A and B are shown apart, each in its own frame.
Chain A
Amino acid sequence: MHGALILYTLIALFPVFVIVINSFKKRKSIFREPLSLPDAGSFSLVGYETVLKQGEFFSYFQNSMIVTVVSLFFILLFGAMAAFALSEYRFPGNKWMGLYLALGIMIPIRIGTVAILELMVSTGLVNTLTALILVYIAQGLPLAVFILSEFMHQVSDDLKNAARVDGLSEYTIFFRIVLPLVRPAMATVAVFNMIPIWNDLWFPLILAPAEATKTLTLGSQVFIGQYVTNWNAVLSALSMAILPVLILYVIFSRQLIRGITSGAVK
């Protein structure tokens, strides 16, 4: 059993390993001994130098960061507010509203791309990060509302009613009492949304392809396309694109795995 698992782990990690070790080598060694680790004779940072000189990698990275963090913030805020309304209050149409918001879990937002592009053109948002942020908020909300309302059902009613007796407003109850209690669920939602937003190629390509708004994913795609024959540069660009996600994964993997295995997505 360990044999099978080790084999599969090697298959999973091998490509990443090969890319990263070769990004630190001289061009000759990349071809001559692709599987050996860089040593004193073959070590070289020439690829990274090319990438840093030619590409706007810091600006791409910054764009990706802004888009991901701002989208996540609003997905969590708006999602939690809607989930609270749906799980806390009885009002006519409550059930229909829940179903309406859940539609987007199964129907991919990409189907509406033609009209989204038209909408962004008519509102002048093309080639702005705002366009991407709006799309990712809309894309992330359905699952966020679904997961968060499951968790909000579990917050004790006594606590909220006691607060009402004390004269706290519904807004205070939401922000001061309920939000802190569902923090673990919010972390799960954040981690689920983070990866697809960071890695998306489709919407940056269509809505914000300008140099100033390129995300890291689109930026590396374009850079690699232009430097196909410069192996040092391509391998270094790939390694630099891998690094931020890998760091995020190491930080959040426990949260992510706990989120999946706690049955948040059933």
Chain B
Amino acid sequence: MQRARSRWHIAVFLAPAVLVYTAVMIFPLFNTLRLALYSRIDQERVFVGLQNFKTLFGDAVWSEQFWNALGNNLWFFFIHMLVQNPIGIALAAMLSHPKLRFAALYRSSIFIPTILSFVIVGFAWKLILSPIWGIAPDMLDAVGLKSLFAPWLGKEEYALTTLALISVWQFVGIPMMLIYAALLSIPEEVLEAGEVDGITGLSAFWKIKLPLILPSIGIISILTFVGNFNAFDLIYATQGALAGPDYSTDILGTFMYRTFFGFQLQLGDPHMGSAIASAMFLIILIGVCIYLFGIQTRLRRYQF
């Protein structure tokens, strides 16, 4: 019954998506990489080759800011990997217990912070941790730990870690849900076979379930990586564009925003901003490649 139909409909189906995606995402992406090679001299856009990158990495003021932001970003990522993902896995393991009551209630409640905007989350925690309001010191006082309290968001040595932990609090729902889904897809027979061999409870988790969910752990790691190296909102909402105190919470996203958009008296420089965006692009690309070629191919996927 295959008549020689016209094939135009394929183009019609594809065109809108491809056009919008190309025009608003792919083209600007490459245009940003291109703009990094230009500079504005006497009101005119001039091609300067790699000059912006030389400034970014060679100039003492610029390179110090860049490495500071990158270092902070790595620490931000490190905290997420170390705190968010293990807590997420632990919660998922508890939730997937077949005899657990109220599982749906716990699941929905723990996911609530994830749906809130950074503005809400940032300010809510800022108020709670504020020494003026006194909720945090009073609560520590109640358990006899008042001496531990410090204005965490205002101190250089604590601010970044505090923000990372706030972000962990917000996003723990995502690894929890993905791992939960992976745990549910493990067939009963596999676990029963383990039980016959006397592997139950915690050791069943370590010896059977954990190896089976490794691919999902890989996925949440790369999602965390991309999300963290592209983060901006939480820092901007709580600490402003200057990422204070004294740039101690500056990450690549806030650094790029400040550079290309300007702040207070400093004028924005789209070309240096593009150079920073290119560096971020490279970092994310390297991370994604390490995951795709180094990690994902080595994790064995089990098909049931």
Contacts and interface: CB of A to CB of B under 8 A. Distances in A.
Interface of A: 1, 4-5, 8-9, 11-13, 15-16, 18-19, 30-31, 34-35, 74, 77-79, 81-82, 84-86, 89, 91, 97, 100-101, 103-104, 106-119, 134-135, 137-139, 141-142, 145, 161, 164-165, 169-171, 174, 195, 198-202, 205-206, 217, 220-221, 224, 231, 234-235, 238, 241-242, 245-246, 248-249, 253, 256-257, 260-263, 265-266
B100 A16 contact: no
Q: Give the size category of B's interface with A.
A: 35 or more
Interface stretch (B60-68, B75-83, B126-134, B151-159): B126-134
Nearest to A30: B133
A262 B181 contact: yes
A16 B112 contact: yes
Given A111-B284, A249-B115, A145 B108 contact: no
Contacts of B133: 30-31, 34, 231
A195 B116 CA distance: 8
Given A78-B17, A113-B32, A260-B181, A108 B119 contact: no
Interface centre among B87, B100, B181 (most CB of A within 10 A): B181
Contacts of A261: 177, 180-181, 184
Given A12-B112, A18-B135, A224-B123, A112 B14 contact: no
Contacts of A110: 230, 232, 253
A15 B28 CA distance: 39
A199 B118 contact: yes
Summarize A's interface: helix, strand, loop or mixed: helix
B237 interface: yes
B21 A141 contact: yes
Contacts of B185: 263
A167 to B, nearest CB: 10
B21 A104 contact: yes
Nearest to A215: B117
A106 to B, nearest CB: 5
A84 B226 CA distance: 29
